Structure 1
Amino acid sequence: MTTQTTTPKTPDTPAPGSPTGLIGIPAPLGRALATGGGALTVLSTFLAWTWTDAFPGDLTVYGYPGGLQVLVLIAGALTTLLGLASYGVKGLRWLVPAGADAALKFAALGAFATTWYTVIAISVQLGGVVNLEPGGYLAAAVTLIALLGALALPFERPEPDPFDPDDTGWDKARHRAAQNWATVKAALAGTTPRPRKPLPTWAEILVIVAVLALALTVFTYGIGTEYDELFVGFLITAGLGFTALHRTGLITHISELTARHQNTTVFGAFLAAALFPFTQTDDQYATIGVYILIFATVALGLNIVVGLAGLLDLGYVAFLGVGAYAASLVSGSPSSPFDVHFPFWAAVLVGAAASLVFGVLIGAPTLRLRGDYLAIVTLGFGEIFRITANNLDGTSGPDVTNGSNGIAGIPDLKILGFDFGTPHDIAGFTIGRFANYFFLMLLITAVVVLVFRRSGDSRIGRAWVAIREDETAALAMGINGFRVKLIAFAVGASLAGLAGTVQAHVTYTVTPEQYLFAGTTPPNSAFLLAAVVLGGMGTIGGPLLGAALLFLIPNKLQFLGDYQLFAFGVALVLLMRFRPEGLIPNRRRQLEFHEEADAPAALGKTGA
């Protein structure tokens, strides 16, 4: 009996007979073109791309990148680093634990797309390609060369994320089993997994700190883009750059680090968010930040109903409205028919309790329904709330909400003598009105995250997941389905009401038109549900990220006018096509979309 030996291969070494890239260029030449093109892309950003400063960003200066050139510089540098890492350059192997070829394609595509978008924008706005300087032509040429070189590299089937930071208990056991199966597949394929030496604890914490600082920098840059072309370029570079880093396996390794230090990561994330107002010189972008937190908090509450319990609620924004109206009626507004002025803590309790009561009243008769029927009933509740608020104007009904005029003149909050409506100086920084509410909303978001984590890991949380996966089987195992679903509905409604109390004071006015099922701007029920599905159902970070993107992107795409929703819809369709499990998916949900696609490959390797 002879023993067959196999030669260990790196992730970037294609096996015999493996598929090649899209074009017929040999892989070594393609890798050289991609790496060299990335380096030349970096150099091209130090040249002038146009002769006039009529195009925003001042792209006329030699030796100093500006505007969109900075984004091209970042994309080109990432392409160069990944290209060098694919050669096994010492000191860069940590950047590509899962291989560099697949990531190099997306990095080169990011540099190409951002560069050509800039060149086309200059030509369209200034009246032709004659307005380009040699630097613009050079950048367009070298990014095309880099992209063609990257497309010559062999395609790799990406492995699903082996780890979910929100998984506990049985999910961790499944993660260990998945790791063991990955080792078996590597042995059957004749490859040797690259061993990783664990970092010391202090180094892992430093990595987490660096990642959080980078996230804060990227968010601050994106929210502070001064003109439309720069924001579009930012979306292109950030989206394709993140995809490239994900294909390297680096994002997965960072997720493992954050999972080992969950408390440190959560504390650091909120600390990084608290630093955001100090990076702003006025309230222009702090305003967007506070609305993002309100939207994200409500989406996280909806995630309990949809993500954990599996109940499709299409009228969830009504609970936000109930909390906002309840708080505005008792907060001393001159438009309120009740001549009372509760302190903030009492107004918060009133808003959360009112939403809780409405959640129970609506859920009790309707939660015996399932699927589409439940969705239709909740959609009807959302419309009933809006119509009722319109009719309580003293003409069609009792004078409670002032009808379409709403409750106006809601005073700013004052907590322990701290007036949220006036600027304050903290450590030499002037913190304006919206920054004050940003800190308050950040604290409320922390409370909601704590409630979500504790409830998700509790006995009732496991019952929610069981109901979501198979309600009939859960009922057969002795779970009281109606009671469990009613608790989910009540908890989700009270969290939405909690956010609504702050929204009422931030906006000064509460009107029925703010709480529609669908509209051009969030929050509304359609956007809230999209934030949960887009971010990742059943996770904590998913709805927070999804809500931030769904609020920020439409706000920045207003220059598209009537085409705003069209462009936004196309982006959602593409994302759901290529990432249906969400941006930060739950491991179980990710397997639902990818295990069928991975099974034939695994069986083929086994049969070989």
Structure 2
Amino acid sequence: MTRTEHPATGEHHAVIPLPPATARLITAGGATLALASTFLPWTWTTAFPGNLTVTGYPGGLQLLTLTGALLTLAQLLATAGIPGLRWLNPSHTHTPTLHLTLGTLATTWYTLITIATHLGGLVNLEPGGWIAGAATLLATTGALALPARHTPATDGDDSARTPGRLRTTTEALLHTLRPGQTPLPPPKPLPTWAEILVIAAAFGLGLYVLTYGIATEYGELFTGFLLLTGFTATALATAGLGRRLTTLTRKHRGITLTAALATAVAFPLTQNTDEYTLIIVNILIFSTVALGLNVVVGLAGLLDLGYVAFLGVGAYTAALVSGSTASTLHLHFPFWAAVLTGAAASLVFGVLIGAPTLRLRGDYLAIVTLGFGEIFRIAVGNLNGESGPTLTNGPNGIPNIPDLNLFGYDFGNTHTLAGITLTPFANYYLLMLLFTVLVILIFSRAENSRIGRAWVAIREDETAATAMGINGFRLKLIAFALGATLAGLAGTVQAHVSRTVVPELYVFAGPVPPNSAFLLAAVILGGMGTITGPLLGAALLYLIPAKLQFLQDYQLLAFGIALILLMRFRPEGIIPSRRQQLEFHEDTTAATATTLTKAEA
């Protein structure tokens, strides 16, 4: 095994010494054999979920192996320059092929190991399973032997692969490239209608993948889905498709926003029951609260470990004033008034807690906010007329919160509008979607405002920001208050969706999200200071425990390991902001700039 140097980053990668043509043939043969194996039985009994005993018809986890093999073949053909498929790999690198073979290998071998574990040994594997395991291993071996970069017209010619030949200036390259990525050739112009069609297809594909993942019927299938989806997403990113799609979405911003909204609205129409719609409603609540925390942590750089308490303030306030039979206030506000009351209550608590504590920094601020979260939980548990005033019914919480009724539209009933049936949780989904869009607009406006730039300055260096005339305390208090208000806004909807609020829902760390630890992990995992990052992080952290019930006892262990791996390999998060990505990869960026400058010279 030899080591080759990446042309842009200077990193060395292990490569199996095989001719490129032979390596491509091995990869293609392995992928084809893996594809064929899905039409053979992998086990002899239907005791394993998904019925992998049928000949000529793939099912369950076999479909994931089939999908991975097809994507591998398509990417391999695109890298070879086959007309009509070149757009799949604009970066002309074999790395996406390697990621896809690894994803297919991981999914297939996970299936085989799970079969052996569940059924009691490898003897339960049929020939199709053995063929699939060997074929995916063969395809991965071939992909490891492929060169790092490949130009179809000049296979093996280093001069044709010089990064500097693909852009006119180093400045333009550094503007468009992420650290460690190779430059892309200028994309071929597409007609406007084709660009719009590509954007629509991307959102449609995203909706299909999301729907498939949520609707997986058992944990083994969802685990395989996560493995294949993760490697496929990495492959698409390294192929350059993500960057080109980003270019199109920026060019057609209005169409992109319309397509995103239409895709989100269409989700309930893909569901026959409320089971999975309820999951998405909770994900939207979790995501909205994570965006509010992102104002505090991602923009202002304040470590808040008790943020879930503001969600609880909004939820309890809405429960007390929304006409619940268990409410001690005996008030019944209309929904809009309950929303404003919950948001205002969270705002007041944010100011009251932030005013005396935001002069602290770092660990001291984190300890104080953690204390506030615990004080809130203990306080609402004691306001039961025995340990304190009668207000929250103590540990019993406030049940029987009525369904929303907005302008005569009862959210608790099934409605048919223009031939479209909307179930109760579909109604709440659309309402929460509206709230999420509102929070996204607030976050984006705040981020790009003068105050948002001041928050970033405080996050980077508060002493320097103060020296430049920024009132650090006032701006941090604004960030704290805004984050608390957004959390309270989401809490008012959560109270009506869950129909009850109890103190155990608002803890620092617990088995059911959202809680402060999960919210902070969602922001860090997704990418601090971005909009899509916390949305993705919250979706993953809510969906994984919901689908993988066996993780209930090991959630903190699993997320601790995940965060350690994330800090090691991608400290900026899954979808990072440009600024933080450059900060975490200063050495790589400098190496890329040096290489490109030499190439132009």
Give the TM-score, by structure 1 length: 0.90
Q: Against the structure 1 CA distance between its residues 376 and 563, is the aligned structure 2 distance closer, same or farther, given a 3 Å change threshold?
A: closer
The offset of 1:349, in angstroms, is 0.6
The offset of 1:559, in angstroms, is 2.4
> Secondary structure of the equivalent of 1:425?
strand
* Equivalent of residue 510 in structure 1, options 493, 497, 501: 501
* Equivalent of residue 597 in structure 1, options 585, 588, 591: 588
The offset of 1:122, in angstroms, is 1.6
CA distance in 2, matches of 1:277, 1:198: 36
CA deviation map 1:180-211 (0-9, x unaligned): 448999xxxxx996332232333222211111
* Equivalent of residue 86 in structure 1, options 79, 96, 105: 79
1:307 matches 2:293: no
Q: Against the structure 1 CA distance between its residues 48 and 421, is the aligned structure 2 distance closer, same or farther, given a 3 Å change threshold?
A: same
Q: Report the residue type matching 1:366 in the other structure.
A: T
Q: Which residue does the alignment assign to 1:367?
A: 358
CA distance in 1, matches of 2:310, 2:552: 30
Q: Which residue does the alignment assign to 1:134?
A: 127
Q: Against the structure 1 CA distance between its residues 155 and 13, is the aligned structure 2 distance closer, same or farther, given a 3 Å change threshold?
A: closer
CA distance in 2, matches of 1:538, 1:202: 33
> Secondary structure of the equivalent of 1:52?
coil
CA distance in 1, matches of 2:556, 2:224: 19
CA deviation map 1:250-288 (0-9, x unaligned): 112112222223333233222211111111111111110
Percent identity between matched residues is: 64
The offset of 1:577, in angstroms, is 2.2
Q: Which residue does the alignment assign to 1:62?
A: 55
Q: Report the residue type matching 2:138 in the other structure.
A: I
Where in structure 2 are the equivalents of 1:176-575 lying within 5 Å?
A: 178-181=171-174, 194-575=185-566
Q: Against the structure 1 CA distance between its residues 348 and 154, is the aligned structure 2 distance closer, same or farther, given a 3 Å change threshold?
A: same
Contact 1:21 1:154 in 2 (8 A): no
Q: Against the structure 1 CA distance between its residues 108 and 424, is the aligned structure 2 distance closer, same or farther, given a 3 Å change threshold?
A: same
Q: Against the structure 1 CA distance between its residues 192 and 56, is the aligned structure 2 distance closer, same or farther, given a 3 Å change threshold?
A: closer
CA distance in 2, matches of 1:224, 1:184: 36
CA distance in 1, matches of 2:456, 2:301: 8
CA deviation map 1:406-458 (0-9, x unaligned): 11111111011111111222344432221111111001111111111111111
Gaps of 5+ in 1: 1-10, 158-175, 186-190
- In the alignment of these two chains, the number of paired residues is 574
CA deviation map 1:561-587 (0-9, x unaligned): 533443343233323322211111100
Q: Which residue does the alignment assign to 1:166?
A: none
The offset of 1:394, in angstroms, is 0.8
Q: Which residue does the alignment assign to 1:4?
A: none
> Secondary structure of the equivalent of 1:430?
strand
Q: Report the residue type matching 1:413 in the other structure.
A: L
Contact 1:327 1:351 in 2 (8 A): yes
Contact 2:293 2:520 in 1 (8 A): yes
Q: Report the residue type matching 1:430 in the other structure.
A: T
> Secondary structure of the equivalent of 1:509?
coil
Deviates more, 1:206-215 or 1:43-52: 43-52
CA distance in 1, matches of 2:210, 2:423: 20
Contact 1:404 1:512 in 2 (8 A): yes
CA distance in 2, matches of 1:100, 1:604: 18
CA distance in 1, matches of 2:403, 2:344: 21
CA distance in 1, matches of 2:287, 2:7: 43
* Equivalent of residue 122 in structure 1, options 109, 115, 121: 115
CA deviation map 1:296-317 (0-9, x unaligned): 0000111111111111111110
Q: Report the residue type matching 1:234 in the other structure.
A: F
Q: Which residue does the alignment assign to 1:5?
A: none
The offset of 1:100, in angstroms, is 3.1
Q: Report the residue type matching 2:349 in the other structure.
A: F
* Equivalent of residue 141 in structure 2, options 129, 148, 151: 148
The offset of 1:26, in angstroms, is 3.4
CA distance in 1, matches of 2:366, 2:170: 37
The offset of 1:292, in angstroms, is 0.3
1:98 matches 2:95: no
CA distance in 2, matches of 1:239, 1:255: 19
The offset of 1:557, in angstroms, is 1.6
> Secondary structure of the equivalent of 1:521?
coil
CA distance in 2, matches of 1:572, 1:13: 28
Give the root-mean-square deviation of aligned CA atoms: 2.5
Q: Report the residue type matching 1:274 in the other structure.
A: V
Q: Against the structure 1 CA distance between its residues 506 and 193, is the aligned structure 2 distance closer, same or farther, given a 3 Å change threshold?
A: closer
Q: Which residue does the alignment assign to 2:24?
A: 31
Q: Against the structure 1 CA distance between its residues 156 and 317, is the aligned structure 2 distance closer, same or farther, given a 3 Å change threshold?
A: farther
Gaps of 5+ in 2: 151-168
1:44 matches 2:47: no
Q: Report the residue type matching 2:232 in the other structure.
A: G
Contact 1:535 1:585 in 2 (8 A): yes
Q: Against the structure 1 CA distance between its residues 486 and 27, is the aligned structure 2 distance closer, same or farther, given a 3 Å change threshold?
A: same
Contact 1:558 1:564 in 2 (8 A): no
Q: Report the residue type matching 1:341 in the other structure.
A: H
CA deviation map 1:385-416 (0-9, x unaligned): 11111111111111111111111111111011
> Secondary structure of the equivalent of 2:585?
helix
The offset of 1:237, in angstroms, is 0.5
CA distance in 1, matches of 2:39, 2:418: 37
CA distance in 1, matches of 2:351, 2:65: 53
The offset of 1:485, in angstroms, is 1.1
Contact 1:21 1:153 in 2 (8 A): no
CA distance in 1, matches of 2:561, 2:465: 38
CA deviation map 1:128-154 (0-9, x unaligned): 223222221111111110011111123
CA distance in 2, matches of 1:312, 1:69: 44
Contact 2:511 2:552 in 1 (8 A): no
CA distance in 2, matches of 1:600, 1:476: 33
Contact 1:270 1:442 in 2 (8 A): no
CA distance in 1, matches of 2:552, 2:437: 36
Contact 2:381 2:394 in 1 (8 A): yes
Contact 2:91 2:183 in 1 (8 A): no
Q: Against the structure 1 CA distance between its residues 561 and 345, is the aligned structure 2 distance closer, same or farther, given a 3 Å change threshold?
A: closer
CA deviation map 1:38-83 (0-9, x unaligned): 1222222122222222211121222221110111111111111111
Q: Report the residue type matching 2:356 in the other structure.
A: P
Q: Report the residue type matching 1:343 in the other structure.
A: P
